[in-house]
A and B are shown apart, each in its own frame.
Chain A
Amino acid sequence: GAGVSQSPSNKVTEKGKDVELRCDPISGHTALYWYRQRLGQGLEFLIYFQGNSAPDKSGLPSDRFSAERTGESVSTLTIQRTQQEDSAVYLCASSSDSTRREQYFGPGTRLTVT
Chain B
Amino acid sequence: AQSVTQLGSHVSVSEGALVLLRCNYSSSVPPYLFWYVQYPNQGLQLLLKYTSAATLVKGINGFEAEFKKSETSFHLTKPSAHMSDAAEYFCAVNSGGSNYKLTFGKGTLLTVNP
Contacts and interface: CB of A to CB of B under 8 A. Distances in A.
Q: Do A and B come from one complex?
A: yes
Contacts of A33: 100-102
B91 to A, nearest CB: 9
A42 B90 contact: yes
A12 interface: no
Interface of A: 4, 31, 33, 35, 40-45, 48, 50, 56, 59, 91, 93, 95, 100-108
Interface of B: 4, 6, 9, 32, 34, 36, 41-46, 49, 51, 90, 92, 94, 99-107
25 contacts: A4-B43, A33-B100, A42-B104, A43-B44, A43-B92, A43-B102, A43-B104, A44-B104, A45-B102, A45-B103, A48-B99, A56-B99, A56-B101, A59-B101, A91-B43, A101-B34, A103-B100, A105-B36, A105-B43, A105-B44, A105-B45, A106-B43, A107-B41, A107-B42, A107-B43
